Amino acid sequence: MIRIQNMYKIYKMGKVEVKALDNISIHIKAKEFVAIIGPSGSGKSTLMNMIGCLDTPTSGAYYLDNKEVSKLKDDDLAEIRNKKVGFIFQRFNLLPKLTAFENVELPLIYRGISRKKRVQMVLEALEQVGLGDRIHHRPPELSGGQQQRVAIARALSSKPPLILADEPTGALDSKSGYEVINMMHKLHEMGNTIVLITHDSNIAQQAKRIIRIMDGKIVEDKEGAQ
């Protein structure tokens, strides 16, 4: 599903070059559950942005479902994100003025799904994360764990094959974090490909495969304990 070859991402800060990604090559098959770990500033988020088609690399190739996407235009990338990728961020990234329902509905609107079908899909997704009774709440009226569950519902509402989570538990207490990870497992069982970025090696241990990166390079790629 995901094939990255010799990918570089270089930021130029004046005369200093920062290699956020330094010759990365990864292959992730469909329906895998992969954890990416590494210290702060090692390039995890940068890598996730690449995988999620939010950013384009300085050089290297990226095949998503056998299609080279690293040189596509903004709007084409937007369409791929909309159809194939569900994002879950550390800081939820919900729109504070929209209700839970409207937040989850947003990717479906951009996809152009009819209203009737949207309502059904949104309710289903919110039901799935256990928030069927909170659909008209706005993010500020929800707890952190509930907000992250709305974000998960948004990521899965349009049924994308790939779910990317960048430290989804980072802003949560251990109980809510546990619930979120549980949900990721459920999504995996339902057939989604999951890429999970985390600091927490306990959480990483639950993944089938762990990729450790440091200074923009992959230093370890192993099957998990399970």
Ligand X SMILES: Nc1ncnc2c1ncn2[C@@H]1O[C@H](COP(=O)(O)OP(=O)(O)OP(=O)(O)O)[C@@H](O)[C@H]1O
Tokens of 91: 């800081």
Phi and psi torsions of 42, nearest 5°: -80, -15
Binding partner of 79, given Mg ion, ligand X, another protein, none, CB within 5-8 angstroms per partner class: another protein
Q: Which amino acid is at 57?
A: P
Task: Tell me which residue of 131, 98, 103 sits closest to 118, measured CA to CA.
Answer: 103
Ramachandran region of residue 105, left (φ > 0), alpha (ψ -120 to 50) or beta? alpha
Q: Tell me the closest approach of the beta carbon of residue 91 to ligand X, in angstroms.
A: 11
Residue pair 35/29 in contact by the 8 Å Cβ criterion: no
Q: Under the criterion CB under 8 A, does residue 89 sit at the interface with another protein?
A: yes
Tokens of 113: 């799904």
Q: Under the criterion CB under 5 A, does residue 148 sit at the interface with Mg ion?
A: no
**Complete DSSP assignment for 171-184:** TS-HHHHHHHHHHH
Q: Under the criterion CB under 8 A, does residue 69 sit at the interface with another protein?
A: no
Q: Under the criterion CB under 5 A, does residue 45 sit at the interface with Mg ion?
A: yes
Binding partner of 140, given Mg ion, ligand X, another protein, none, CB within 5-8 angstroms per partner class: none
Query: Site map for ligand X, 38-67, x if CB under 6 A?
Result: x-xxxxxxx---------------------
Residues at the contact surface with Mg ion, assessed by CB under 5 A: 45
Residues at the contact surface with another protein, assessed by CB under 8 A: 49, 52, 54-55, 74-75, 78-79, 81-83, 87, 89, 93-95, 97-98, 106-107, 109-112, 154
